[in-house]
Structure 1
Amino acid sequence: MDAKLKERLEILVAGDLLTEELKNKLESLLTDFEASYQVELNNDNAAMLVTHLPMALMRIKRGEAVEDLNEAVLTELKAEEFYTDCLDFIEKIEVETGIEIPEGEKNYLVLHFCNLIKQQRG
């Protein structure tokens, strides 16, 4: 994970949009994702994910509702080669953070992670 992505997380902490504890867990999880899927996360390919993931987790902690992907996108997503792997990784995020991620948010996150893998292996 490059320095700009780490800086992005620090900015969220400084703005009280992310806790330091959750930031540390996310950095570790994202580093694990890089190693597991041979994906290099940088500001160009993962800026949206590294903003979305912590914001989503904080929204969930606050009990805010999340909409799901539309059916056509969801159907296409489920056909992706790495769909199950990415869904398993989201479940790992749940275990590590202690935050239960609603189905709709899981789908958005799986979409981000699948796209990262596809970009790197393209």
Structure 2
Amino acid sequence: MYGMDIRNRLDLLKKSGTISQESYDDVLKVAAYFREKNGITLTEENASAFVTHLAMALERVRKGEKVVPLDRGVYEAATREPTFAQASSCCRDIRRILPQIPEAESEYICTHVGVLLARIKEGGKQ
């Protein structure tokens, strides 16, 4: 179903009080999207940073905290990566699944998804 290690990461974040059940469930929705629409299972190896970032971003949104915009240079470098078009498409889908995610946060998510896709492409693991 989901990479067990990803669920373990989420369990740890939830049990420590770092994330809510709502954020936990929302991250699992995104994991299901990757599996069902892209044939990608999120694992500790390919998606640990993305999963943690998404969970924490959802908590920040839930608490009404302001998003600090991503450094322009970092985002512009990400746009030049071969995985950017697919990452951008995935990010749009994620924002449809989780409409509470603000635009400023979507640049972080898109960058993380690009890294995830690059890791899969390099390692051949989905």
Task: State the TM-score bracket (shorter-chain normalisation).
Answer: 0.7 to 0.9
Mapping 1:40-119, distance limit 5 Å: 40-79=41-80, 80-95=84-99, 99=100, 101-119=101-119
After TM superposition, the score normalised by the length of structure 1 is 0.81
Q: In 1, Cα distance between the equivalents of 2:14 and 2:7?
A: 11
After TM superposition, the score normalised by the length of structure 2 is 0.79
Q: Percent identity?
A: 26
Q: Which segments of 5 or more consecutive residues in structure 1 lack a partner in the other structure?
A: none
Deviation of 1:86 after TM superposition, in Å, equals 2.3
Q: In 2, Cα distance between the equivalents of 1:51 and 1:87?
A: 16
Deviates more, 1:78-87 or 1:55-64: 78-87
AA aligned opposite 2:112: H
Structure 2 partner of 1:15: 16
Deviation of 1:114 after TM superposition, in Å, equals 1.7
Q: In 1, Cα distance between the equivalents of 2:15 and 2:106?
A: 26
Deviation of 1:82 after TM superposition, in Å, equals 1.4
Matched position secondary structure for 1:18: coil
Please list every run of at least 4 consecutive aligned residues from structure 1 whose deviation after the TM superposition is greater than 3 angstroms: none
Alignment coverage as a number of residue pairs:
118
Q: In 1, Cα distance between the equivalents of 2:87 and 2:44?
A: 23
1:18–1:55 Cα contact (<8 Å) kept = yes
Deviation of 1:21 after TM superposition, in Å, equals 3.2
RMSD (Å) for aligned C-alpha atoms? 1.9
